[in-house]
A = this chain, B = another copy of it.
Amino acid sequence: MSRNIKMVVAYEGTHYAGFQRQAGGVKTIQGALEEAIAQITGSMPNVIGAGRTDAGVHALGQVVHFHSETRLKEGQLLNALNAVLPRDIVICEVSEVPAEFHSRYSALSKTYSYRIWNDPVRPVFHREWLYHYKYPLDTAVMREAASFIVGQHDFKSFQASGSSVKTTVRTVHFCELMSEGPEITIRINADGFLYHMVRNIVGTLILVGTGRMSLAGFKAVLAACDRNAAGPTAPASGLCLEEVFYPEMKPEI
């Protein structure tokens, strides 16, 4: 009997060409997971992730699922996979879920974080998880701009140009900005994200933080529905998929 296995996965994306398997033998998270599962269970799975993170993007709470005939218990799978996976990928949780669970389609919302090291001096401590921005940022005004994106909006201005999706309307449940010393963390939860959406929002918030864009200007960007209105795409290194939320799964009776 094929089982549906859900896993929570953390990884440092620095040395990977993104989540999604690619032709040409480049290193991907999906590829590494599939190889590890094949090594442990004896058959090659198709691993599907909730978020297809880009090259260099990290995760602390990516969720994946795959179907497998393995008889290994959840804890055995977790330990065996962590023993063979490279040090920059780790399985945090393994659980068997109902057949209808799909890591991407069942997801209600996802939280991404973006970490900025705002100091003239570059960071050393967990530097792979940060974007070093050396000029002063006004976090109070950035926080106010961040509050404008909460709610249901057409986020077309923040979508990478050339993307095609049915609709560019998304609902942002929260967008909070915390700062502690030189480290600024922006956390965004939404029912879905357009391609490069978080990085384009952060790149535009940085314009606001430096004073090169006003709060009214930020509002106008959102209203414009035009990628050219927004700021540059912030680098991948600061971005992290933190958590994926699902409806509570009731066991079948």
Contact = CB atoms under 8 A, between A and B. Distances in A.
Contacts of A123: 90
Contacts of A82: 121-122
A11 interface: yes
Copies of this chain in its oligomeric complex: 2
A126 B124 CA distance: 10
Give the interface size class of chain A. Answer: 20 to 34
A221 interface: no
A87 interface: yes
B124 A12 contact: yes
Contacts of A78: 121
Nearest to A59: B124
B121 A91 contact: yes
A122 B124 CA distance: 21
Interface of A: 10-12, 60, 78, 82, 87-92, 121-127, 129
Top 3 A-B pairs, shortest CB-CB distance = A126-B126, A10-B124, A90-B124
